[in-house]
Chains A and B, each alone.
Chain A
């Protein structure tokens, strides 16, 4: 009995602490959601109070109307397309390259790995113009190609390195055993590494999706026609310092824009946990 009471008490304390901290973490989101239901003129004057005095759905109506002839749903669909395709490319190509970097020694591998690290050290902002000029040469401007194709070539060092780190953590005895059974390096990748890499793949997937979803810089440069804008860029159209901005609509659309990301996260995070535990790994 005292043991159980103690356990219940510790569980309560645990949940209380986690919830309290959690509230601080999500407060901004709550604030944003609440603001999205306030009349747009009172968003700032009532910023101190969380709950709207008068609830309105007007911001959602205004926001979904979009700009010109393009409804906001179109922007969401554009974002979804770009993010999903680019994420698939990133996850697949990064895992494959990471496998080579971690497990398959060859001449020049170290230099390539170094080169990959170096590509991460140059600020993206300084590459904007040169990249634009290059894609312009390729005839890719005003299409989604610059925002999709490079991701199929493991151009984001972060994901490669992340996977390298995980593959390094997989005991080598496993691929050794597979090799003795006559498995080729490709087979080892597919049948040994990939299943054990699930948490890293899921993590990469989550990051990549969110980063692509939030990215507006490349859309700003490469997409010239407003009906091709992703949501991240379209959101910025609500705020124009030169004239009145519709912050209410911006909050409303930001809220809608976070939803898919949040759903994907909640859905994927349980795989992140299962991964290894269920695959019966022996030390």
Chain B
């Protein structure tokens, strides 16, 4: 704008003004955000509001929903032992599996950063479990591995540790098998770490080397601080995913034994699609949304204490 003023006092033509308006940061911001704005209005908000509405209804899917006020919510908070149980299981799972998974992902990413001829194959190998994901094959395999006569017990016995535990059938160990599965599938976080590690300018390391910084010093002074935004991102995403975990429990344990692996969303799904109480399921979902929202909000509040941001 300063430039156009300097050129002359002549008022710019409408095309010029349009162009200037379009190139203003705030206009460009809205224009570039348009896909999301449209997508949000067209595809996200309507179903979300509908489900919010259903949470105040008796709705069996087969017949139209009937308004029921706060009935579902009252029942959840006053007379639903499984709600409490599944919430507990889910918190336990999320709070343990997420940090483990991220730590593991970061370590492996650092190891695989090194460029050798084999690196491509290694990366593929470590990413594989995430590709297989929640398939039936994994479910069958996991059950097979940790059965009484499964591979895991066989290996333990070979190592001289006598074990005849049905790992998935034992109330206190079953949840750990699902946590293990989640840690085993650390690939997506690893990939994100890998690509952000590559974003750290090499010049910083060169400068550090000139200053005589050792490997671990470089890691704690350069790598880790510059990686904090990505760690934060992974933490937020994995927390959300952890609370919404579904398929591990649904395809492997169905909440068994004795509801010790009953994830919140699995319970919700049972209510919605097995018992045809979609209204109740919606109420459960919105309670979960509030919980996750609160958690994410908390995480964002801590952000400025430990996340490095350029220019701040």
Contacts and interface: CB of A to CB of B under 8 A. Distances in A.
Q: Does chain A touch chain B in the assembled complex, meaning CB atoms less than 8 Å apart? A: yes
B84 interface: no
Interface residues of A, number: 95
B137 A97 contact: no
Contacts of B112: 18
Nearest to A274: B198
Interface in A121-159: 121-127, 129-131, 133-134, 149-150, 152-155, 158
Interface stretch (A1-9, A53-61, A79-87, A162-170): A162-170
B16 interface: no
B268 A125 contact: yes
B212 to A, nearest CB: 19
A125 B272 contact: yes
A25 B128 contact: yes
B244 A272 contact: no
B162 interface: no
Nearest to A125: B269
The A contact surface, by secondary structure, is helix
A270 B43 contact: no
A133 to B, nearest CB: 7
B114 interface: yes
Nearest to A265: B124
A213 to B, nearest CB: 9
Interface string B200-222: 01111000000000000000000
Contact of A239 (B111, B136, B296): B136
B245 to A, nearest CB: 10
Interface residues of B, number: 101
Contact of B141 (A14, A28, A93, A106): A28
B265 A125 contact: yes
Nearest to A101: B33
A185 B25 contact: yes
Interface string B46-78: 111011001000000100000000000000000
A189 to B, nearest CB: 7
Interface stretch (A70-78, A201-209, A222-230): A201-209
A203 B192 contact: yes
A184 B32 CA distance: 13
A47 B151 CA distance: 10
B65 to A, nearest CB: 10
Interface in B264-312: 265, 268-269, 272-273, 278, 281-282, 284-286, 288-289, 292-293, 296, 309-311
A96 B108 CA distance: 31
Given A100-B33, A106-B29, A160-B36, A126 B282 contact: yes
A143 B39 CA distance: 19
Contacts of B293: 118, 121
Interface stretch (B5-13, B91-99, B115-123): B115-123
A119 interface: yes
Contact of A109 (B33, B47, B149, B192): B33
B56 to A, nearest CB: 14
Contacts of B121: 266
Contacts of B26: 104-107
Contacts of B134: 214
B47 A134 contact: yes
A28 B137 contact: yes
Nearest to A255: B137
Contacts of B114: 14
Given A15-B118, A123-B246, A123-B268, A130 B46 contact: yes
Contact of B44 (A22, A107, A119, A172): A119
Nearest to B195: A199
B53 to A, nearest CB: 9
B195 A275 contact: yes
Nearest to B245: A123
B184 interface: yes
13 contacts: A28-B129, A93-B39, A121-B288, A126-B281, A129-B272, A130-B47, A154-B36, A160-B36, A169-B229, A235-B135, A266-B124, A272-B198, A283-B203
Can you list the 5 inter-chain pairs with the closest CB atoms, starting with the nearest?
A153-B39, A104-B29, A100-B32, A199-B195, A130-B50
Interface of B: 22-23, 25-33, 35-40, 42-44, 46-48, 50-51, 54, 61, 108, 111-112, 114-116, 118-138, 140-141, 144, 149, 151, 154, 184, 188, 191-192, 194-196, 198-199, 201-204, 226, 229-230, 233, 236-237, 240, 244, 246, 265, 268-269, 272-273, 278, 281-282, 284-286, 288-289, 292-293, 296, 309-311
Given A105-B25, A134-B46, A154-B39, 10 more contacts: A28-B128, A32-B141, A97-B33, A101-B33, A131-B47, A153-B43, A155-B40, A210-B130, A277-B198, A283-B203
